[in-house]
Amino acid sequence: MTKNQKAEELSVLKRILIVGNGGRENSIAWALSKNHSIEQIYVCPGNGGTENFERCMCLKTKSGDEKTIINECQRLQINLVIIGPEVPLAEGLADKMREAGLTVFGPGKEGAQLEASKDWAKALMIENNIPTAKYWSAKSKEEALGILQRFNQPLVIKADGLAAGKGVTVCETIEQSREAIKDVFSGKFGSAGNKIILEEKIEGPEVSIFALCDGEKLIILPPAQDHKRLLDGDKGPNTGGMGAYAPAPLINEKALNELTELILKPTLQGLKKKNIKYVGVIYAGLMLTSSGPKVIEFNCRFGDPECQALMPLMGKEFASVLFACARGESENAPKLTFNTKRSACIVAASKGYPESPQGGDKINIKVELNSSLQVFHAGTTVDKSDNIITSGGRVLSVVAQGESFVEAFNLAYSNLKKIKFNGMYYRRDIGYQVRNI
């Protein structure tokens, strides 16, 4: 095929459907809407901010079941489906869509185990010499307590399955590890806690690296740093993420190349050895320890809110690149370029997040957007009188770009002050690691 023919094939991309309703999906829709050859972007079900962007609309189906969404994709002649969250990926939505003839960006059920089973992911890492913390797995409380007793040190306790970011307890004492084991087997995390991982506690700064994958090859994205804890100073409970920034200066270009060889390529190789054609995002959460980088988790999708910080850095080729990956032919896509600016994302959450977020509060947004400033909605909805109201824990994020992180964070924080809702909470110290560069 000639270069022109290849470009022509990718130009059939006219209608995209994004599955999900969070800030991640809102920012992906925004990034794709920059490509004017795309006629329509549906977000299913989307949120109160979806229709702020040109050619973007919410697609609300009567029931959110797989068959209905697949039928809608066929009726709307969708060329590309992007599945945002981990739950539908782990349930095999991508497989069913592919069986129905749709072109999908997102791994099938088997590949999604990278995130959906920590035990499975750990085994894959060991089989492929990917550096990670030492671990043991157990299927019963007695077995887990036995391992803890033998090891006689506080261990990190992880429910095996998906637990919305709440299944990990980093313990200071053996007693805490014991309690965490009992908690998991008490059914607190449902079937996610049928199995448990006990992990050696490691230390060091955390950073996330990402690759877009077409089953065979990887396209590496800028690294990002997330802030998982609720309170300033990285204190308080774990959340989905209270803010992020990219590119993380902890990883320069040389280090990113090394991490690609050490972690991302062997991960893809490991998946291929299991006959898994992995199409989607490989997200590796790393800890940079004194004995080298180690993987603490894999995710099978874009991070939220890392995605919101990353999307404004994507070049205009982004849509074509995702489409080419979904078709298993990333070599036919134009090279993905990146904006060289620094990007800062601050999440505003509702009162009570993460335990019991309150909803139903009217949101007042007085931000004047420009090409370096975005507001991405997450837990928002539109009421009958067209007011934007809160409907979830992480409500929205303000994202800004600058020549320096100082500039980016100043712009994001000064505009966050122009948003108000009852009980609005945000961390004041997002990006503290880079606020002087």
Q: Does the protein bind ligand GLY through residue 169 (CB under 6 A)?
A: no
Site string for ligand AMP, 159-188 (x = CB under 6 A): ------x--x-x------------------
Nearest-angstrom CA–CA distance, 114 and 421: 37
Both tokens assigned to 202? 């490691």
Give CA separation, 124 vs 113, 114, 277, 430, in Å: 10, 8, 15, 33
Distance of CA 143 to the CA centre of its chain: 33
Q: Which CB sits closer to ligand AMP, 106 or 161?
A: 161
Nearest-angstrom CA–CA distance, 184 and 168: 10
Instruction: Identify residues 286-305 at the interface with ligand AMP (CB under 6 A).
Output: 296-297
Pick the binder of ligand AMP from 86, 95, 199, 329 (CB under 6 A): 199
Least distance between ligand GLY and beta carbon 241 (Å): 3
Rg of the chain over Cα atoms, rounded to whole angstroms, equals 21
Least distance between ligand AMP and beta carbon 132 (Å): 8
Site string for ligand GLY, 281-310 (x = CB under 6 A): ------------------x---xx-x----
Describe the crossing of helices 118-127 and 265-273 by its angle, rounded to 10 degrees. 100
Choose among ligand GLY, ligand AMP, none what residue 299 binds, the Cβ cut-off being 5 to 8 Å by kind: ligand GLY
Q: Does the protein bind ligand GLY through residue 23 (CB under 6 A)?
A: no
Distance of CA 183 to the CA centre of its chain: 26
Nearest-angstrom CA–CA distance, 29 and 76: 17
Least distance between ligand AMP and beta carbon 191 (Å): 17
Q: Does the protein bind ligand AMP through residue 204 (CB under 6 A)?
A: no
Q: Which CB sits closer to ligand AMP, 133 or 218?
A: 133
Describe the crossing of helices 3-10 and 318-326 by its angle, rounded to 10 degrees. 90
Q: Does the protein bind ligand AMP through residue 134 (CB under 6 A)?
A: no
Secondary element (H or E) of residue 209:
strand 206-214
Q: Report which residue's Cβ sits closest to ligand GLY.
A: 241
Q: Are 279 and 300 in contact (CB under 8 A)?
A: no
> Which residues of the chain form contacts with ligand GLY (CB under 6 A)?
226, 240-241, 299, 303-304, 306
